[in-house]
Amino acid sequence: MRRTQALASAEQSPLLTVIQRGIEKESLRITASGHLAQSPHPQALGSALTHPYITTDYSEALLEFITPVYTDIESALAKLDDVHRFTYANIGDELLWSASMPCILEGDDNIPVARYGSSNVAHMKTVYRYGLGHRYGRLMQTIAGIHYNFSMPDAYWPLAQADDGDTGDLSDYITERYLDLIRNFRRHSWLLVYLFGASPAVCASFLRGNSNHNLMPFDESGKSLHAPFGTALRMGDLGYSSNAQKNLDICYNSLDSYIETLKDAILEPHPEYEALGIGDNGHERQLNTSLLQIENEFYSPIRPKRVARSGETALGALRRDGIEYIEVRCIDVNPFLPLGIDAEQIRFIDSFLLYCLLSDSDACNDADGVRLRENMTRVVNRGREPGLKLVTSEGEASLQELAAEIMTGTAIIAQIMDSANGNTACMDSHGIQQARLNDSSLTPSASILKEMEKQGLPFFRLAMQSSQQLADEFRQRPLEAQMQAHFEEATSTSLDKQTAIDSEEEESFEAYLQAYYRQYDEL
């Protein structure tokens, strides 16, 4: 409470107007008939390796849009809107899939792995993706999401440190506070999944040949499968989960413990992946035979981050100067929103993140990890089930009861933010989320199932309808000349940069990889 009161002070509250945010949004490129695009990444969108706004994630067909860092929500969303408009002007009659769970899929062989050029860094990115495909299957990698990057302004930290009476190194203090946020976030992130989950159903083609699930047919023909009370199947066993990683307990109690537990997972061989082998030069199956190839393979709803230097590992960047920002990774693409996310949602996420930052944050332990995984599983699969109970250290408690405690804290934060900004936008958003807690039929996941039933459409047809509608709207709003020129210049420059990288004389890929992994030994 003391930290929250300090946030409302004349010194700290103005800094709430310059919180730093960035958005990364994934979208599948699909054909006009709703199948995954087999075409390579369009040259008109520039180099996926070097373009500042447009890259690819797992597949050539899985676009990822990246905004710069902004201090106001509207600017970040405006840039994301511009990227969509530029993209639609350069993908012919293809569409961007509007949902997290994918379009019609025809097996792993029809999911083209992303390519980035002929350089060692480009080849490493592609081999990493081949490794993911061998380890988890390519179908899982077609699921799209939104990543939200968040950091407090630099001027906040000395004030907060002084208020806490901390006289140590400022960088260490910032890192410790972000770790407080992360631990609290992991305990409470089920609330975001309930409020914003938008993947309660899947196209049957996603599960072709997979009977290891508890989903029910939505229609008599079985074209869609769903969880009747589900919220975000993307965050469960169908999505970014891994049986191999289930026993991987990453410790967030200190930066040292986080780095060491992740580093061990990257360096220690894993029997199943040893059996798979590395492969021959030029035909590598994976980067290594460890539980994780690199840090990004660890699936987590939140990550500590620092911008890495060229060739530097993510853990090396954190070791060098500590945590710079956090990346929220549990946000579904909402098919009813043009950008998949909107300002109202972001305002609540900001209040939630500040609540996690300012609240007391006990050290995590193994029992804590078991509870948070169980709670996430329950909310993913049964989040809207009446009377659903979650697990606490004192026993079970209702989702509503636990949510009420969090909502009380986020309301206080929202009021402070509104006071700083001179409006009521955060409390307005808070009211919308409270209504969703009072009535689960107002959540995005319930709205999707309701619309499928109302229109008599399977998931694929509903998402296809939304994708076509949004495509028409974006194409009716071409970029203004100045912004069009800006994107064309960025695209041209990215292609020139990749050409230069590809033409540089380099060591062998094997030597490059050995040098890269030596960085982990030196941590």
Per-residue confidence (pLDDT) for residue 243, from 0 to 100: 67
d(CA 76, CA 70): 6
| Cα dist from 419 to 65, 168, 412, whole Å | 32, 32, 11
d(CA 363, CA 473): 48
pLDDT tens, residue by residue, 125-140 = 999 999 999 999 999 9
Q: Please, are residues 436 and 27 in contact by the beta-carbon 8 Å criterion?
A: no
Average pLDDT over residues 92-99: 98
Per-residue confidence (pLDDT) for residue 510, from 0 to 100: 93
Burial of 490 per CB tally in 10 Å (0-12, 13-18, 19+): middle
Question: What does pLDDT average to over the chain?
Answer: 95
Per-residue confidence (pLDDT) for residue 239, from 0 to 100: 67
Per-residue confidence (pLDDT) for residue 207, from 0 to 100: 86
d(CA 253, CA 504): 42
User: pLDDT class for 392, splitting at 50, 70, 90?
Assistant: very high
pLDDT tens, residue by residue, 159-193 = 999 999 999 999 999 999 999 999 999 999 999 99
Query: Which domains, and CATH codes, for the chain?
Result: 2-521 (3.30.590.20)
Per-residue confidence (pLDDT) for residue 214, from 0 to 100: 87
Provide the CB-side half-sphere exposure for 411 (13 A, CA): 10
Angle subtended by helix axes 255-267 and 170-188, to nearest 10: 70
Nearest Cα residue to 68 out of 131, 130, 145, 149? 149
pLDDT tens, residue by residue, 361-386 = 999 998 999 999 999 999 999 999 99
The helix/strand/coil state of 57 is coil
Angle subtended by helix axes 366-382 and 170-188, to nearest 10: 50
> CA torsion sign, 263 to 268 to 273 to 276?
positive
DSSP letter for each residue of 284-345? ES-S-SBS-SSGGGS--SEEEE-PPPTT--HHHHHHHH---EEEEEEEPP-TTSTTS--HHH
The H-or-E segment that residue 120 falls in is helix 120-136
Strand partners, 146: 25, 331
d(CA 72, CA 253): 31
Q: Please, are residues 199 and 66 in contact by the beta-carbon 8 Å criterion?
A: no
Average pLDDT over residues 58-81: 98
CA dihedral in degrees (343, 344, 345, 346; nearest 10)? 50
Nearest Cα residue to 372 out of 266, 212, 250? 250
**What percent of the chain is predicted at pLDDT more than 70?**
98
Amino acid in position 238? L
Q: What are phi and psi of 302, to 5 degrees?
A: -155, 145
d(CA 323, CA 178): 7
Per-residue confidence (pLDDT) for residue 248, from 0 to 100: 84
Task: Cite the DSSP H helix spans in 137-231.
Answer: 156-164, 170-188, 190-196
**What percent of the chain is predicted at pLDDT more than 90?**
91
Per-residue confidence (pLDDT) for residue 394, from 0 to 100: 92
Instruction: Examine the pLDDT at 241 and tell me if it is beyond 60.
Output: no
Radius of gyration of the chain (CA): 23
The H-or-E segment that residue 353 falls in is helix 343-358
d(CA 255, CA 242): 24
Task: Cite the DSSP H helix spans in 360-508.
Answer: 366-382, 399-421, 425-438, 444-455, 459-475, 481-503
pLDDT tens, residue by residue, 280-327 = 877 899 999 999 999 999 999 999 999 999 999 999 999 999 999 999
d(CA 33, CA 520): 46
